[in-house]
A = this chain, B = another copy of it.
Amino acid sequence: MTAVNQVLSRIDTNIDQSVDRLFELLRIKSISTDPAFKNDCRMAAQWMADQLTAIGIPSQVRDTTGHPMVVGHRTSDDKPGPHVLFYGHYDVQPVDPLELWETDPFEPRLVEREDGSKMIVARGADDDKGQLMTFVEAARAWIEETGDLPISVTVMLEGEEESGSPSLQPFLEENKEELAADLALVCDTNMWDRETPAITIMLRGLVGEEITLRGPDKDLHSGMYGGAARNPLHVLADMVAGLRDDDGRITLPNFYEGVIEMPDHVKAMWDNLNFSETAYLGGVGLTQPGGEKGRTVLEQIWTRPTCEVNGLWGGYNGEGFKTVIPSEAHAKISFRLVGDQDPQKVRDAFRAYLAEKTPEDFELILHPHGGDPALRMDFDAPALAKGQAALTEEWGKEAALVGSGGSIPIVGKFKTILNMDSMLIGFGLEDDQIHSPNEKYELSSYHRGIRSWARVLDALSKD
């Protein structure tokens, strides 16, 4: 029996304990965007460092000005293959609306379906605690079974991925040498479907702004001032509405500069994925694609930039009516970027647009969020072929090379600061409800995800 097969067998034997360890992590309320959970984030970081150290990857909690990083190393000059830097994030999204959760988001449970399949339900079950633990448990199995890892591994876990990663850039810059490696492995993406593994080769970037628009210096009675005082909510609605034309295109000047059309052979590969637009939209209660006209849904979410209102609020939202002209209106707006779009240029164009639409006697207050370009992987990287082969072997189905609509800021930073490519392998499914109530992770994603990483580590150690 080869080493990797012994490792796989150990993973199968110990899967219950692997689930228990994940549950421990899921119970920690590490919501990074809300300052009320600061201590919980630190607890999650400490838990991760303790775990990694215990399995033989000596690790530390490293302070930043925000939530801490966790960094660990198990490297050796005489090991074959590339030195990899594994990345995941231990922070999670907020849980609101809490009333839509069937059970406590931080009390994980294993739910068995009628067909015998099981899922892990909790905030972070997929994004990204379940995902990062697939790698950690694979490493554990390798070390427990063989006394070592097949290749050199550095682990870096972040605690601010869901809140714009403010500490990431300075941390990478300050620890450039320590974090140097040949290739980053990132576990924060999806499989193509329940049976088909995937490596994500394109990621959209992200630029966001939080907007406060201040008009009258107090809330006004709409009878006394309506018709004479401009309403900040109306002005903000106007700003939002003007960002999109009737064909779903974003109207900012030069917004599409740097957007790249896919080559025909890539479009052909995607056409062969048998993607059902009806099923994809139907899964969330929709029937009509809402994006740019003349584009397939896969194009819309993988290769086209967007503008989304993530939050908008102002005035009275309690029961009944209050005929008020509010003093302030607020929005959180973000853009997904593709190809070579420049995040700074998009931000500048957006800010200029907002300023131009702000009435003379109004105040416009902006808080930036994100600011990462899109990313594309090199199709010819040797690690890509090895990763693809390992996944194909585990799942018995050709691993798909796909795009992803989401942003993973770390990937751009690895490229620009550490000059390192990233291989994105993850085991999430589209219906995992990440960022939504009742987030889940398939037990099969977790179990076979651990097995997949065991195989990928093995494959990378071979010529």
List residues of A whose CB falls within 8 A of some B CB: 32-35, 93-94, 96-97, 100, 162-164, 204, 206, 208, 210, 215-231, 233-234, 236-238, 240-244, 280-281, 284-292, 297, 300-301, 304-306, 308-326, 329-330, 332, 334, 336, 359-361, 369-370, 404-407, 430, 433-437
Q: Do A286 and B216 touch (CB < 8 A)?
A: yes
A230 CB to closest chain B CB, in angstroms?
A: 3
Residues on the B chain within 8 Å of A310, using CB: 222, 315-316, 321-326
Contact A204 B216 (CB under 8 A): no
Residues of B within 8 Å of A238, CB to CB, are 237, 240-241, 244
What are 22 sample pairs from A and B whose C-beta atoms fall under 8 A apart? A33-B318, A163-B320, A164-B320, A206-B223, A210-B321, A215-B285, A220-B435, A220-B436, A221-B436, A224-B430, A227-B291, A227-B300, A227-B301, A234-B309, A237-B241, A285-B361, A287-B360, A288-B361, A309-B314, A311-B322, A311-B324, A321-B369
CA distance A220 to B430 in the complex (A): 11
Give Cα A35 to B319, complex, Å.
8
Interface centre among A204, A236, A237, A325 (most CB of B within 10 A): A237
Contact present for A217 and B284 (CB under 8 Å): yes
Q: Are B370 and A321 in contact (CB under 8 A)?
A: yes
State whether B332 touches A435 (Cβ < 8 A). no
**B34 contacts A284, C-beta separation under 8 Å:** no
Q: State how many copies of this chain the complex holds.
A: 2
Given contacts A94-B316, A164-B321, contact A233 B228 (CB under 8 A): no
A334:B361 contact, CB within 8 angstroms: no
Please name all residues of chain B whose beta carbon is closer than 8 Å to the beta carbon of A313 when the two chains form the complex.
312-315, 317
Contact A435 B219 (CB under 8 A): yes
Quick check: B321 and A285 within 8 Å, CB to CB? no
CB neighbours of A361 from chain B (8 A): 285-288
Smallest Cβ-Cβ distance to A93: which chain B residue: B322
What chain B residues lie within 8 Å of A206 (beta carbons)?
223, 323
- Chain B contacts for A32, CB-based, 8 A: 320
**A242 contacts B241, CB within 8 Å?**
yes
Nearest-CB distance from A203 to chain B (Å)? 9
Which residue of B is nearest A434, CB measured?
B221
Q: A220-B436, A321-B332 are in contact. List 7 more A-B contacts (CB 8 A).
A: A93-B322, A221-B434, A224-B406, A230-B286, A234-B241, A310-B315, A323-B407
> Using Cβ atoms and an 8 Å threshold, which residues of chain B touch A309?
231, 233-234, 237, 314-315
One of B330, B407, B436 near A223 (C-beta < 8 A): B407
